[in-house]
Structure 1
Amino acid sequence: MKSTAPKPAIVLASEQYAQQLVDEFGRYERDYDLRPAKSSAQVLEITEQLQSDGIQIALYATDSVLPDEHILGAFAKWRAATPTARRIIIAPSERFTRDAPGLRHGMAKGKYDAYLLMPRGPRDEEFHNAITDLLSDWGSTVPDPEAITAKIIGAPQSQLTSEIRDFFDRMGMPTRLYAPDSEAGRRVRERFPPDVDFPLVWSMVRDPIAPRTVSDVARSIYGAPDEVDVGDAVDLAVVGAGPAGLAAAVYGASEGLSTVVLETGAIGGQAGTSSMIRNYLGFPRGISGMRLAQRARNQAIRFGAQFLTGWPALQLRPGSPHVVSTDGGEIRARSVVIANGVTYRKLGVEPLEALVGAGVNYGAALTAARDLEGQDVVVVGGGNSAGQAAIHLARFARSVRLVVRRQGLEETMSSYLIGEIAYTPRITVQTSTQVIDGGGDPGLEWLCLEDTRTKERATVRAQGLFLLLGATPECDWMPDALALDDRGFVLTGRDVPQHAWTDGLPPVDLATTVPGVFAVGDIRSGSMKRVAAASGEGSSVVPQVHRWLASAADVTTP
């Protein structure tokens, strides 16, 4: 069915090459409204007209030189007018090398998204790969996407509704939210008994359900452990599908190990909530945590790995083989890699805990950002995840206040993020500060902040609170024989207590005190808590798994 909504716009700016850019972007004309301009002032006029007509702007693509303003100054104005639009520079070949040194520092600060060479002929697919990537990133922020995989019927300020929307977004499955009394809501509602509670979920791949947890949604789509044919025992069971677990799955499956991955929620773990990771090797334009996670999942599946989403591990029983239990069945495995990561520490302010899902969010909760246009938001945390969340929220919210207990960001946040935050006028950083109270009805309306040095307090408006407060390990499902440090993280290698060493030798680097069980990523004591480091550990553990399986086979061979 053809959409009646106006097409989003791509604004193309160049004094000399405007028509060439229109011709080059002609392949997008079916889905986007192409608007040429010859100056920064004309871009602003077009922007104002599009906004008055209710048309979204997906992308600004501009020559490296404009006649009336330096391009970085122009970007600042365009960004203020349309924060959600992506911004790129397309330099002609005669100026590409000359203009680059003076402009690339702006990309490092987040002033624009890509610096590209203007195509010099047809079918420049490297150029268009960059364009489609950026348009895809923009599309993931649109509140009501055209192509959807699921409909959610429920109230927007329901905690469960928010969690389900976030799950679908993190799985790369676009959704729309419908009110219970809407036409779509009534049609889905007719499929259920009269007394059913909201939210309801209709998806393309299963019958409509009335979930009571996010796991119910995941299970309805991806099935249960006891529905998966894995034979007597798999070579490798990976518990957790964050970057470390995904890397273990990719490398394990690619090297011939029968591999099953168990994941409680959405693929990607905490990293999957990152709006844009700019310092991950091999992605010069950056990549969202969701896209990185889904690409890794697809890669592992191509090698034969099987994923079971929505099933938390309830118990690990060591043996030969090991048994990982869930409430939907058991997985028997010759080796186990623990990669279930960590959860965010609770704030512990009772009035705010009662508003989780109604303005208060643990983690980045990227779905909630789209509902906060024109609102005031507070992000609590000093790590990279908090910085990425603040930058993403600034595309929508009127103001973003980044609250940090430390005296600065330098100890805990990457330099590129600090620079981008400093460039973003909607973000203010408030150091030596903590949240001590808040409230609102039916959703969050205000917060009380306290200066940790002077104890001075101030009340601020806030319709959104995003808490990224550090790591809490979840190890209650692990056996007593598996050694933990005093904070509850899994000990591996030389960190294992000496009384658990064998013949005076510690376990190998990523091995635990349970033979055949390994730990990687954030759950491991002493890990770096970075996406690249977790991915590295996940890939590094596979040779150790191979050696363990070989040695175990030698022992059992008559």
Structure 2
Amino acid sequence: MPNPAILLVSDQYAEILETQFWRYQREYDLHVAHSAEEAMAATERIHAAGGQVALFVADSRLADVHVLKAFHDWRSIVPTARRLVTASWENFLEDSTAFRPGLAKGKFDAFLLMPRGIRDEEFHTAITEMLSDWGSTSATPEVDSVRIVTPTVDGSTLSIRDFLYRMGMPTRTYGPESPVGQEILAELADAGVSGTEVRFPVVKPMNGTPVCAPTVHDVAISIYGAPSDIDVDQVVDLAIVRGGPAGLAAAVYGASEGLSTVVVEAEAIGGQAGTSSMIRNYLGFPRGISGMRLAQRARSQAIRFGTRFFTGWPVEKLTLGEDHHVLSTGGGELRARSVVIASGVAYRKLQVEAVDSLVGRGVFYGAAMTAAREMEDRDVFVVGGGNSAGQAAVHLSRFARSVTILIRRPSLAETMSSYLINEVEYNPRITVRGCGEVVDGGGEGQLDWIEIRDTTNGTLSRHQAGGLFLLLGAEPHCEWLPDGVVRDAKGFVLTGRDVPKETWVNGLPPGNLETTAPGVFAVGDIRADSMKRVASASGEGASVVPLVHAWLEPRR
């Protein structure tokens, strides 16, 4: 298998680009073309040989065709490649203005000034970020930190792979009959599990012992520890339930300001945002950042300040107390003077039995990032009109033959950010169908078709479908909360002036992010009337820490 290719395209500046990209030639095959036509021929040769193009780097001014037309043509052959426009110093100001609309519509991924000398690390930081993004979402991992052995890639395997992806752990799947599979099963037999005792999938963590781990919970325990590992003896200042953007922000700011801070996470950190292939409107990341990378960086930042994370244990109960509260999990109890509820929301179920019976076999709730590679040359449907659905559709279009976004409303205008609507409209593989809903589906052990009802006239139509991704909006799960934490009719936690007046103390409402239970706060999507955006959730996570300080100060 050849190395992935980086294709450099320029007439006047080809030599400069080739010199700048020498540092990548050990792990990538560099190809230089002096025109779009020459680049197309090189792309076809690479594709025909079974190779991959990781990155197109094109001069902003090509001699034979406009560079955006060239990108469109190259993308028809290699849709997974990242696309960079680079402009020379004399053309940069003029071309940066001209190319701005195309960048906003997703016609390419980045616009950079061409390096004028050696060690232009700002330029190469962008290059490595793009290659990293390509490597984590499009390419098969070359180095795996976790190996999965299974005869079939079923729903359980896909859930485990998504969990490991969100935890930043490169993963590969092997059949039991493969050399790697045989080696891992032999190691499992040496540990006393063999023959009919083996339950697939078998998971082998890096430098660890293989285990039969049929669920995400089992994998989390095998990697992060057994129940007895929740060993916090003292009463901590701050306990945070779940590690989405809001919980991670609270952890960073709480620990950095000297609070003893613990995060209890049921699955992978990042919440729903952690499944996003690319978030382009988050402050400070002009080229975008995947939800997984954002969550991993925030987790590392929180750990640096002293936050402790316990992964794999959902909180089952919150017991309120005067001096401290108690969080109960399957792995033990945690006592805390203050609690921040950042448990986020889950996608609503379709509640069509024939479709739900195929979850993991062509039907997925959420973006299911690792399932995207299995959608190659299939017709795929994404149900939902929010940003998560738009990001999933754009990512799936790199693999699927076609992607249809299905929504009940007439258009996406009311529910999706403008920048994503522009990307969706430009992408030739994506179409939007309004006023429709999935009412049936089926297939022989795998999703083959779905039935759509037109919500305006009730007519039914059947469509071939190789994949169905359901991102149906927010549904809170707060069954573990006591009655002392009041929620609205939909189950979202009430805070501040939204709580019932009869619960106010001395005629005053709780603080803006404080619940009806003293010392218990709520941030992010779980809070009633929150914005349901990554940036707003992060802001609330940071904003809650001063309120926690104010609560703790008289009690110190």
TM-score with structure 2 setting the length: 0.97
- 1:375-400 deviation line (CA, Å, top 9, x unaligned): 11000000000000000000000000
Match of 1:173 in 2: 169
Deviation at 1:143, TM superposition (A): 4.8
CA distance in 2, matches of 1:224, 1:506: 42
Identify which of 384, 390, 405 aligns with 1:381. Answer: 384
Could you list the structure 1 runs, at least 4 aligned residues long, displaced by more than 6 angstroms after superposition: none
Match of 1:513 in 2: 516
CA distance in 1, matches of 2:122, 2:139: 29
* One-letter amino acid of the counterpart of residue 550, structure 1: E
Structural mapping, 1:442-521, within 5 Å: 442-521=445-524
CA distance in 2, matches of 1:343, 1:221: 24
Deviation at 1:142, TM superposition (A): 3.6
Match of 2:278 in 1: 276
Assess if the C-alpha contact under 8 Å between 1:156 and 1:162 holds in 2.
no
Identify which of 311, 314, 336 aligns with 1:312. Answer: 314
What is the aligned-residue identity percentage? 60
CA distance in 2, matches of 1:353, 1:155: 23
CA distance in 2, matches of 1:550, 1:176: 49
* Alignment partner of 1:160 is 2:161: no
Assess if the C-alpha contact under 8 Å between 1:271 and 1:289 holds in 2.
yes
Gaps of 5+ in 2: none
CA 1:220/1:312 → structure 2, altered by over 3 Å: closer, same or farther?
A: same
Match of 2:294 in 1: 292
- Secondary structure in 1 aligned to 2:485? coil
* One-letter amino acid of the counterpart of residue 372, structure 1: M
Alignment coverage as a number of residue pairs: 549
Deviation at 1:194, TM superposition (A): 1.2
Deviation at 1:98, TM superposition (A): 1.5
- Secondary structure in 2 aligned to 1:315? strand
Match of 2:98 in 1: 102
Match of 1:414 in 2: 417
Match of 2:178 in 1: 182
CA 1:143/1:186 → structure 2, altered by over 3 Å: closer, same or farther?
A: farther
CA distance in 2, matches of 1:155, 1:260: 38
Deviation at 1:230, TM superposition (A): 3.1
Assess if the C-alpha contact under 8 Å between 2:379 and 2:466 holds in 1.
yes
Which stretch of the first structure deviates more once superposed, 516-525 or 437-446?
A: 437-446
Identify which of 181, 198, 201 aligns with 1:199. Answer: 201
Assess if the C-alpha contact under 8 Å between 1:151 and 1:178 holds in 2.
yes
Identify which of 339, 351, 359 aligns with 2:354. Answer: 351
- 1:357-408 deviation line (CA, Å, top 9, x unaligned): 1110000001000111111100000000000000000000000010001111
- Secondary structure in 1 aligned to 2:137? coil
* One-letter amino acid of the counterpart of residue 23, structure 1: T
- Secondary structure in 1 aligned to 2:118? coil
Deviation at 1:441, TM superposition (A): 1.7
Match of 2:364 in 1: 361
Deviation at 1:261, TM superposition (A): 0.4
Deviation at 1:179, TM superposition (A): 1.4
Match of 1:556 in 2: none
Which stretch of the first structure deviates more once superposed, 141-150 or 413-422?
A: 141-150
Which stretch of the first structure deviates more once superposed, 151-160 or 451-460?
A: 151-160
CA distance in 1, matches of 2:39, 2:180: 38
CA distance in 1, matches of 2:214, 2:320: 32
Assess if the C-alpha contact under 8 Å between 2:143 and 2:170 holds in 1.
yes
- 1:490-532 deviation line (CA, Å, top 9, x unaligned): 0000001011100000000000011110000000001000000
* One-letter amino acid of the counterpart of residue 176, structure 2: P
Deviation at 1:208, TM superposition (A): 0.9
CA distance in 2, matches of 1:492, 1:123: 51
Cα RMSD for the two superposed structures: 1.0
* One-letter amino acid of the counterpart of residue 267, structure 1: I
Match of 2:251 in 1: 249
Deviation at 1:157, TM superposition (A): 3.6
* Alignment partner of 1:65 is 2:61: yes
Which stretch of the first structure deviates more once superposed, 226-235 or 368-377?
A: 226-235
- Secondary structure in 1 aligned to 2:340? strand
Match of 2:402 in 1: 399
- Secondary structure in 2 aligned to 1:499? helix
Gaps of 5+ in 1: 554-558
CA distance in 2, matches of 1:484, 1:14: 60
Deviation at 1:134, TM superposition (A): 0.1
- Secondary structure in 2 aligned to 1:406? coil
* One-letter amino acid of the counterpart of residue 116, structure 1: L
- 1:261-283 deviation line (CA, Å, top 9, x unaligned): 01111110000001100000000
CA distance in 2, matches of 1:317, 1:116: 54
CA distance in 2, matches of 1:171, 1:217: 12
CA distance in 1, matches of 2:540, 2:462: 44
Deviation at 1:156, TM superposition (A): 4.1
- 1:296-355 deviation line (CA, Å, top 9, x unaligned): 000000000011111100000111211101011111111000001000000001011111
Structural mapping, 1:223-234, within 5 Å: 223-224=225-226, 226-234=228-236
